[in-house]
């Protein structure tokens, strides 16, 4: 069931919205003693159904451990900021942190591949150099 006020997804038998607190029972209009509607508190930003912001945390941890530690640390930091920014309602900040985490993951992966490539090249040149003597 979607809340008509904030659009949050709730279980079908919910009495109140888990996001904004709106009462779903018929006859309960949310009015005050004076008859004026009372505003319901809305926390955070409602993300449309189907929209997600990936945090890339698993990719950040793997690229840090397996590829390049100095470039992987910012990836972990940015990926850990995504969920906290979503909970705070900062959708634009969560998307920016997600993009930064993805960028640092790829930088770490690229530096790891470059390091492996240089190591293989040095080994091949060392073997070829020892064959000449």
pLDDT tens figures, 39-75: 555 555 566 665 689 999 999 999 999 999 999 999 9
Q: In this structure, how many other beta carbons lie within 10 angstroms of the beta carbon of residue 9?
A: 14
pTM attached to this predicted model: 0.60
Q: Please state, in angstroms and rounded to a whole number, the distance separating the CA atoms of residues 4 and 42.
A: 13
At residue 28, the pLDDT reads 47
Q: Please state, in angstroms and rounded to a whole number, the distance separating the CA atoms of residues 73 and 13.
A: 44
Average pLDDT for the chain: 82
Length of the chain: 133
Average pLDDT over residues 65-88: 92
Return the residue matching tokens 């959708």.
91
At residue 37, the pLDDT reads 57
């Amino acid at each position: 069931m979607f809340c008509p006020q904030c659009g949050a997804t709730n279980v079908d038998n919910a009495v109140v919205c888990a996001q904004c607190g709106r009462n779903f029972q018929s006859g309960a209009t949310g009015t005050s003693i004076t008859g004026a509607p009372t505003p319901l508190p809305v926390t955070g930003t409602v993300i449309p159904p189907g929209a997600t912001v990936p945090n890339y945390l698993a990719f950040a941890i793997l690229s840090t451990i397996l590829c390049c530690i100095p470039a992987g640390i910012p990836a972990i930091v940015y990926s850990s900021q995504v969920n906290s920014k979503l909970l705070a309602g900062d959708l634009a900040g969560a998307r920016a942190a997600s993009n930064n985490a993805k960028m640092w993951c790829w930088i770490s992966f690229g530096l790891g591949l470059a390091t492996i490539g240089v190591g293989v090249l040095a080994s091949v040149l060392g073997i070829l150099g020892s064959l000449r003597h």
